[in-house]
Structure 1
Amino acid sequence: MIKSHSWYNGQIKPSEDITISPNDLGLLRGYGLFDYFRTYNGKPFQWDWYWQRFKGSADLLNIPFDMKQEEVSEILAELYKLSSAEEVAYRFLLTGGDAPDSSTMTKPNFLIRSEKLSEMPSESFEKGISIISHEYSRDMPTLKSTDYKRVMSLQPAIKAAGAVDVLYHTGGLLSEMSRSNIFLVKDNQIKTPATGVLRGITRRTVMELAKSDFEVSETDLFLKDIFEADEVFTTSTNKKVLPVTKIDNVSIGNGAAGAASKEMLARFDEFIVNW
């Protein structure tokens, strides 16, 4: 059982003892960003890439953030030690900070929390998952903002469809799932949407791992392309490489996890063994 601790503005405490001010702009105005990643073999996965993205996101939101990577690395190591777990997840949360007038940023608040890993059931990798489609475009999609109201409001529809997630599109142009990236496989080509997406770290890793044997590209993809694809898979920290076998209750390909999806999962699993 993981012992979750959090570093918050310079202090480490058990996570349940952390107090967030009711004047925090993340709470009052939704002005904040987060990131989420995990360890493999006790080491933060693709830490340099995550750090670069997080710093870039803070700049994009105009939230001052001057901590150094080496400083944060030490905090991660301490939180890992306190967790007493073999593997953990980390969550960053950076907000505009406390604003007594509810709108003026003074000093940002920054939280780093260790968490129990949330992993997909093994049968999902064997059988694939079902998703629904929904017309929606995330604001500022290149960063992980704290605004998840759309997918939260869609939970009843997702559940009613017997699905586990939603795929966003705009006029049929695909972007991403609510918490992961999407890939389409056709013949020996692996394609993923080029615009309106978060540059996922698992996405980037999988693209690199696929280049030796597949033609990999970022391009415009449409909802109709899914139904013409041989297979579809999604990537994220928790999903790794997860087959998508049904969308809007229509089977994709032959309705089973495809060979390319299985191959990329195997390559990813091999890659993390020696991380």
Structure 2
Amino acid sequence: MKPYCFAKNQIISSEMAVIHPMDIGLIRGYGIFDFFRTSNYTPLFLSDYLDRFIRSAEKTRLLLKLTKDELSYIILELIQKNDLKNGGIRMLLSGGLSENHFSPAEGTLFIFCEELDFPSQEKYAKGVKLLSAEHVRAIADVKTTNYAFPVWHSSDWKNQGAEDVIYHHKGLVSESSRSNIFMIKNGEIATPDSHILHGITRKRVLEISGKVNIRPVKWEEIHTADELFMTSTTKKILPITQIDDFKIGNGKPGLETNLLIEKFKDMESKSSA
């Protein structure tokens, strides 16, 4: 974590940031967050991330006192104070101190700056393995702080050589625990349309890839896909070459996926220029 953060309604030393132990963000796991990157001191796609954070606050009935412009000003100041040329920024709004220890109350806003590690180049070159899990994330279109299921499940990932999970339910694919899913079959690019977080990287991929079919994606389709990849702030576009014990396509990152990776790099460099 970098030296300075926003807490207590001001920019302070990160070591001074505290939260009450009875905040329902802790005792009930109720809160929201968002996370984005800086590139060459530029917060990438900042407007989109702030819009999503504000929508999440409204949907979860959490009071966010600062406007979009005020949040933007604070973030830009934190980038400079922390010399955050290339790193991550995490916004967190807790559920607050509730009279009944259950209902949403006036929460606490934190904004932290962090170091950022991407997957290794080997993972982009060879692709990664996911484990299947029958699960639907609660309030999937909101970036809540409740990651209890994947955190619990992650104890199995390393032993099985997996990067993450892929969720499916009643025969349909939704997302990974922290990423969106895209499938390529016979030249068609498709991505699930429901029970998902509307990722900002997903939005960018929809823009650069041309026509993408946003539709229900059947679990059985994944098994016969030519290519599969995941998108997120911290992974960008990461090829998926195996799920459980079966390989995707020929077991290597596909041409279309690699082309999108290059297009995304170009978009990102122009955004941070």
1:95-110 matches, cutoff 5 A? 95-99=94-98, 101-103=100-102, 105-110=104-109
Q: TM (normalized to structure 1)? A: 0.94
2:42 and 2:85 in contact (8 A); partners too: no
2:164 and 2:177 in contact (8 A); partners too: yes
2:32 and 2:94 in contact (8 A); partners too: yes
Match of 1:268 among 252, 264, 269: 264
1:5 Cα deviation (Å)? 2.1
Q: TM (normalized to structure 2)? A: 0.95
- For structure 1, the residue ranges without an aligned partner over 5 or more in a row are none
Look up the match of 1:197. Answer: 196
| Percentage of matched positions with identical amino acids | 36
1:183 Cα deviation (Å)? 0.3
Look up the match of 2:59. Answer: 60
Distance 2:250 2:173 in 1: 21
2:62 and 2:107 in contact (8 A); partners too: yes
Q: Which stretch has the larger CA shift, 51-60 or 259-268?
A: 51-60
- For structure 2, the residue ranges without an aligned partner over 5 or more in a row are none
SS at 2:212's partner residue? strand
Spell out, residue by residue over 1:195-238, the C-alpha distance to the aligned partner (whole angstroms, 9 max, x if none): 00000000000110001xxx311111122111111100000001
Distance 1:219 1:104 in 2: 35
Matched to 2:151, the amino acid is M
Matched to 2:175, the amino acid is E
2:168 and 2:219 in contact (8 A); partners too: yes
Would the alpha carbon gap of residues 43 and 159 (structure 1) be closer, same or farther in structure 2, given more than 3 Å must change? same
Look up the match of 2:158. Answer: 159
1:11 Cα deviation (Å)? 2.1
1:131 and 1:164 in contact (8 A); partners too: yes
SS at 2:77's partner residue? helix
Distance 2:106 2:2 in 1: 29
Distance 1:125 1:106 in 2: 43
1:170-185 matches, cutoff 5 A? 170-185=169-184
1:97 and 1:106 in contact (8 A); partners too: yes
Look up the match of 2:21. Answer: 22
Q: Which stretch has the larger CA shift, 92-101 or 227-236?
A: 92-101
2:95 and 2:105 in contact (8 A); partners too: yes
Look up the match of 1:209. Answer: 208
Would the alpha carbon gap of residues 205 and 100 (structure 1) be closer, same or farther in structure 2, given more than 3 Å must change? same
1:18 Cα deviation (Å)? 1.2
Look up the match of 1:47. Answer: 46
1:96 Cα deviation (Å)? 2.1
Report the aligned-residue RMSD. Answer: 1.4
Matched to 2:157, the amino acid is I
What is the aligned residue count?
Answer: 271
Distance 2:228 2:109 in 1: 37
Q: Which runs of at least 4 in structure 1 moved beyond 4 Å after TM superposition?
A: none
Matched to 1:175, the amino acid is S
